[in-house]
Structure 1
């Protein structure tokens, strides 16, 4: 189904796309992204490597925008070294372990990637990244250096791990550790950057389980969705501790005779990912600055929407499934407020539970876990208390109550955007009707 027909059959998503394109105003100007030739080059590299990340980073408060952009490019450079199979291990491993040291140099670049490596420009033009990196607040630099060191060493360890390279991820503990290195550390670094900028509650620093869950929830969603792509590339990230319950080999699920077991395995992995939901919602309640909140919230609502899409979906076993473009537009608009994010999670959790079959081996576990999330959300708002009963002022209730004051201006903007859309629609319909009356009216002799 083409994008146009998708929009026609999903009018709410069409409205969201129009509002996003024509009525939503960016929070900040992006003029300062052209301040120096090196900075301009960095943003070109950002757009070259990922249009989706570029879009959300460009929306950030200028206080944090350059730091996050450079953090992303540095980790992308590190990842480009790790991914390139043409680089010999004796070159790659020391480079990964010492990559953080390059950040202390005035100039350094690397041209050892294969010519076909799509993101090699991040390394060949690394001088521009270094020049702008040294212009950052030292506290931001220290965070980025720390995370780069940990991630580089983690990547090197996995390259040298023969068991992982031969047989993939084995246990759920290994699964969590792998996701920690590729995504949990990113959540760690971003949290420290936001706290330094005074855009998030300082208490987040002492709650590593929250920012760890932010990363793991995203990474696990991607791993579930990318099954077919990874199998084709000879990679294996689904943990054997889970998939071996349903088949003898991970590739067996692509056979038509094993589809049902493959779907049960997908659902089991979705259940595992849902264990991070309450941490994700707790984390988001601690982000106070609006652009930082949107930066954190958008990937998380995309993840829960993707989990609902892959749940019970046998297509995952054969192709890479994605949520519709219009759905993405709708999620971006609705997730600008904390309550909007919670509503999105509730919607997709209900959708998962509605499609959960009693024959699923994890039927009971799914219902118990989703009920716990529902209870957690009820504790946040406590809207339906009997008359005269005061709310139980738990930490999450107080946090969400405090966070609500940041939502009010956002909700006003949302109402204004919908009003403008409705006015445009009224004008278009009225004009169209007028032309129709004139065209179909009696001819004048």
Structure 2
């Protein structure tokens, strides 16, 4: 009853889910025949399914460049994340990874599951990289070099302060934002965005992931690597791992809310960046992950389940975001709706309640000041039930009842 129950609870998900299914099948049919490109696009689907969907709408040359950019950085990230690789081996690889992408025979075995397949067959990614235009290659190499150096630094450094936290997130995600802006510019489709706005795009996504993945990261084997800054968590616990103890639930939630509040400070920059984009496919490519991020933060806020299991947008909500995000007003609507959901969960007794509300209200002011919001949609989000949803539920129940009655009378 899992999938069927979800549809009955959110019948408005049905059509977007069907569209998403067809989109995935279409992507599978469009995989290039050349071995290196076939491997690259197949791996893209496996290590980032939703990303693979939004990337397919881009123009071919930009699509190829971003596919390889993503896989190169995913490979670099796999090296950094593999805690079983000793630092004396890991550090030189991080340092020289930007040079290895020019070596068609290079590979390094690390990671698990699909990530291990990617690293064992990385030569395919390198061959595809060498076929990209020089402007794309230079942008990818530059960002890979800078990211590798940053990762190398933080292998040997703990995330202590908020400045450390921002710096780490800059290296692993803000630079992705800078790189994408460079690729958009190199394609001739967009003006070159400022480093500050591009950085915020990456930080907003990365901080959301760091918050959401607390339990997975703290339980990492053979050892955990956490990036919640000590400056925040030390206000609530003696050790970061103490937050998953049921006895610490109250303080754990307060710490979580502090982390979410910090992430919210990047949202206004993200809205500004997206509002400046001109090309529809690039806009959707950028907007869909950002909406998922604000939605995930709204779900995570004040939610003890972060320390117990997995918290994420349901698949139907993701399908709705992919299906309905077409214009900047759609983005304003989503950000307003999810920020309103988060606002409704704020406990005035929370130590950071006033700052949280201030940042939420700043996001909502930006959305309202755009003058594009449809007031009849303002308080509906992908996670809330609308009257339309309830009507569909009633119709589905009636249809099932009629069908059941017909079958019963037929048997009698």
Tell me the TM-score normalised to structure 2 length: 0.85
Q: Secondary structure at the match of 1:120?
A: helix
Alpha-carbon distance change, 87 to 242 in structure 1, aligned in 2, over 3 angstroms: closer
Gaps of at least 5 residues in structure 1 are 385-425
Checking the alignment, whether the CA contact within 8 Å between 1:110 and 1:123 is kept in structure 2 is yes
The 5-angstrom pairing of residues 30-429 of structure 1 reads: 33-105=31-103, 107-113=104-110, 116=112, 118-161=114-157, 164=158, 169-200=159-190, 202-204=191-193, 207-233=194-220, 234-381=224-371
Alpha-carbon distance change, 434 to 322 in structure 1, aligned in 2, over 3 angstroms: closer
Alpha-carbon distance change, 21 to 171 in structure 1, aligned in 2, over 3 angstroms: same
Alpha-carbon distance change, 352 to 14 in structure 1, aligned in 2, over 3 angstroms: same
Distance (whole Å) between structure 2 residues aligned to residue 344 and residue 77 of structure 1? 32
Distance (whole Å) between structure 1 residues aligned to residue 272 and residue 113 of structure 2? 39
Distance (whole Å) between structure 2 residues aligned to residue 20 and residue 150 of structure 1? 35
Distance (whole Å) between structure 1 residues aligned to residue 304 and residue 109 of structure 2? 40
Alpha-carbon distance change, 89 to 29 in structure 1, aligned in 2, over 3 angstroms: closer
Provide the alpha-carbon RMSD of the alignment: 3.2
**How far is 1:88 from its partner?**
3.3
Indicate the structure (1 or 2) with the bigger Cα radius of gyration. 1
Alpha-carbon distance change, 29 to 248 in structure 1, aligned in 2, over 3 angstroms: closer
Distance (whole Å) between structure 2 residues aligned to residue 7 and residue 29 of structure 1? 24
- The range that moved more, 311-320 or 48-57, is 48-57
Count of aligned pairs: 390
- The range that moved more, 328-337 or 305-314, is 328-337
**How far is 1:237 from its partner?**
1.5
Alpha-carbon distance change, 247 to 83 in structure 1, aligned in 2, over 3 angstroms: closer
Distance (whole Å) between structure 2 residues aligned to residue 50 and residue 199 of structure 1? 24
Alpha-carbon distance change, 383 to 270 in structure 1, aligned in 2, over 3 angstroms: closer
**How far is 1:111 from its partner?**
4.1
Alpha-carbon distance change, 298 to 145 in structure 1, aligned in 2, over 3 angstroms: same
**How far is 1:375 from its partner?**
2.1
